[in-house]
A and B are shown apart, each in its own frame.
Chain A
Amino acid sequence: MMKNRFKAADIIPFISFVAIFVFFTIASKGAMLSAFNLSIILDQSMITIIVGCGVLFVIAQGSTDMTIGVNLGLSGVLAVHVGLAIGHPWAMLPLACIFGLIVGIINGFLVAKCKVPSFMLSIAELIGIRGLINYIQTVISAEYITNEMRVLNTSAVKIPMFIAIVVIMIYIFEFTKIGRYSRAIGENETTARFVGVPVDLMKITAFALSGLCAGYASILAVAQINGTNMQMGVFLEMKTVMAIFFGGVLVTGGASAKIYKVFLGALSIQIIINGLGLIGKSATQIQQSVEGVLLLLVLFITMMASRGRKIKPKEIEEEEKAAVQG
């Protein structure tokens, strides 16, 4: 039964990815498949994937971090401003990462040590930090990066930057203690604590990585629009978290959290957005409705898939009998 659950949760995202891809390819009469269009899809998924790799640590632990959108906004705005103010515009690169990291560490501290539920924290910051961004942008108004820095928005720079961060995150998530401990916490926090996993430290680490990725992604976001504005990171948290669930990660996290699912989910969603545009339904209202319906669908499937968790007593009894006899 458990095998089926994992199979369902793992296969459905693949099937839906293929279905969405095929649907829009046909609906757009092949326009979907043009090299130019595909590169646009990849380009537009980059930020979601980078941020998603960070958030995945938090989601693996069974929590959620919806502060990434505002974190990206704040880190970007502050980094560009400070960089210009000190006369070293290029300093925004490390600064963005540092600011993102700081916000992440503070979040982690609030969740792990002050026991603020991560969801509540997210709501508070979605409002609070967005207000701060708007305030800063009203005071210092939108700023622009220097002409030389526009090189950041070229594929030659963007793609290596993307690969670098993603490789690091894959390494940490799949091949180090941090990733394994995070999944263990999501599977069963009590177990993790009782074995001796430093649960609080891991929570802070997860939020820190999530923040770091948001800060890093803000560099690309700034490059995309040549500067800063109030709209930076708006709705990004929704898009990212949705991508992760769409990719087949369970809300409870744990062993179901895998990096490839971030890619799968982010690409699926970007194809939907892109595809709707290709068939002339790009109005925000339609796009958002479709996304909403899809998220519901995903949650429904997740629920259905996790339902197999209850174990029937009879099966256990038979099992025990078999164990005694065997």
Chain B
Amino acid sequence: MSTGQTILEIKGLNKYFGPTHANKNIDFTLKTGEIHGLIGENGSGKSTLISQIAGLYGHDSGEMILKGQHYDPQSPIDANDHKISMVMQELGVVGTLPAGMNVFLGRTDKFTKFGIINKKQLNREAQAIFEKWDLPRVPMNKLTDGMMIETRKMIELARALSVDPDILILDEITQSLSLNNRRKLVDLINKLKEDGKSIIVITHDVEELIEITDTITVLRDGAVVGNVMSAETTPDEIKQMMVGRAMEGGYYREDMVPEYGDEVVLSVKNVTVKGEIEDISFDLHKGEILGFCGLSDSGIHSIGKAVYGLSKLQKGTIHLNEKNADIKSAPQALRSNMGYVPKDRDNEALMIHASIRDNFVLPSLTELQGPIAFLSPAKLSRLASETSKQLSVKMTGIGQPMDALSGGNKQKVNFGRWLAKDLKVLVLDCPTRGVDVGVKAYIYSLMKQAKKDGISIVLISDELTEILGMSDRLFVMKDGKITKEIRRDEDFTEQSVIGVMI
């Protein structure tokens, strides 16, 4: 096969998971003899994209053209028949089956006679694949359960290679390999390339990606944001594309000076949550917006949970000065006039099948109680309808189920219900995730108002521009630790943050 021809073309591909728009109008071209890198933050849609190519999911709209023909695989086996195979990020071997069987999983028909699998022949052919591609030896008859992750990855690789693929997809495979096997894998990829095959590689390691690929496509929030030649790019450029966003002017804060009271409202000391964050200390002042930024797995989201009393602290204290108490549980945080807007709106924040009213009043029930713990339905309805009117939530009525609302309106309820309370501290984890521009601007204006009212805000966000746009101070996190603190009047730029972030 000659190289440089288009083997796979993807046009306007869209994929939804429930309300999540995981892939947005993806255009993607793969050539023969090309090693194509895919990179993006967690949740940017890489895995979704390749899963559609490999037949794990169907797509919702758009088209895939393979070798000039319409391509719509119904299953991974169907994709295999089109000579496309994949090694997945999560372990994909069946532990209770021996190595050889795992290589030919789902394709044992050709070894089967009268319903009995000829294991000898199967193992021989599996062995042949390992030899052909110079993969490390694996005992074919042994169950894969007890094997090392690296060995299991090799079995998966052999399985992918056994279909003699024209397109091989490798999803984050290098991170589980030793240096030695990594080198072997690179050799193998290059060998495939020489044969005119195409390879799609996903990895978080930017330097590695640039080194081994020809072309790199960068994804962000489910959309393609850039396509560059590996030889002509730098790690910094890729990182910028992955994380940075153009400042969408107007709705952030205009001032460039930190402005908050001297009074420390909440003081976090040496907090460690096992496997999540380590030795975190900071003071939150009255009327301050304190930003936390970092990659998704840097521990920023754990900060929010810990501050609201949802995590088991291995060490350290979260002290609320007004009550002179340490926050040890979420009910206590709720009682102490704290609020928390978690990241995953539909699964962590809202009861999406319940009514808007039920969602609205949930954090305020204690305050709404009358004598003998009586909750007057009229009082609850009044709170819900008045506040949702203030927030101009688009709905037919407060009795409407939550999931009839659009993402932006859901977020208005999610955010607004806390503002109906007399809050001291509000923890916001990605408050503008998945909402449109209008609602986004509105949420920022609510934040500014809350700040003016003396509410202290912990703002956690994947969006760097949001943190830069709103915070008085920001902390950059990496690997569960705070690596840098920047005040609004200091070097408050994307560059200075991204440098320490990745």
Contacts and interface: CB of A to CB of B under 8 A. Distances in A.
B436 A320 contact: yes
A194 B349 contact: yes
Interface in A175-227: 175-177, 180-181, 183-184, 187-188, 190-198, 201
B343 to A, nearest CB: 10
8 contacts: A175-B376, A176-B373, A180-B358, A180-B361, A180-B375, A192-B362, A314-B60, A324-B437
Contacts of A309: 353
Given A2-B353, A184-B351, A324-B436, A194 B310 contact: yes
Contact of A191 (B308, B333, B349, B355): B349
B334 A190 contact: no
A320 B354 contact: no
Given A191-B350, A196-B340, A197-B330, 14 more contacts: A176-B369, A177-B365, A187-B358, A188-B351, A190-B348, A191-B349, A196-B363, A197-B334, A254-B353, A309-B353, A313-B19, A320-B407, A323-B407, A324-B438
Contacts of B406: 316, 319-320, 322-323
Contacts of A2: 353, 401, 403-404
B334 A196 contact: yes
The 10 closest A-B CB pairs, nearest first, are A196-B334, A313-B16, A187-B351, A323-B406, A198-B331, A2-B401, A196-B330, A255-B354, A176-B373, A319-B406
Contacts of A184: 351, 354, 358, 362
Interface of B: 16, 18-19, 21, 60, 308-310, 329-335, 340, 342, 347-355, 358, 361-363, 365-366, 369, 373-377, 394, 401, 403-404, 406-409, 436-438
A91 to B, nearest CB: 28
A296 B331 CA distance: 39
Contacts of A198: 329, 331
A311 interface: yes
B375 A195 contact: no
A188 B404 CA distance: 17
Contacts of B353: 2, 187, 254-255, 309
A115 interface: no
Contacts, number: 121
Given A184-B358, A319-B406, A176 B351 contact: no
Contacts of A14: none
Interface in A274-326: 309-311, 313-314, 316-317, 319-320, 322-324, 326
Nearest to B401: A2
A37 to B, nearest CB: 37
A181 B373 CA distance: 13
Nearest to A322: B406
A177 B369 contact: yes
A70 to B, nearest CB: 31
A193 B310 contact: yes
A162 interface: no
Contacts of A316: 16, 18-19, 406
Nearest to B365: A177
B363 A254 contact: no
Contacts of A191: 347-351
Which of B308, B330, B350: most chain A CB closer than 10 A?
B330
A316 B350 CA distance: 17
A190 B347 contact: yes
Interface in A1-16: 2-3, 6
Nearest to A311: B18
B337 to A, nearest CB: 11
Contacts of B351: 184, 187-188, 191, 254-255
A255 B358 contact: yes
Nearest to A312: B16
A190 B350 CA distance: 9
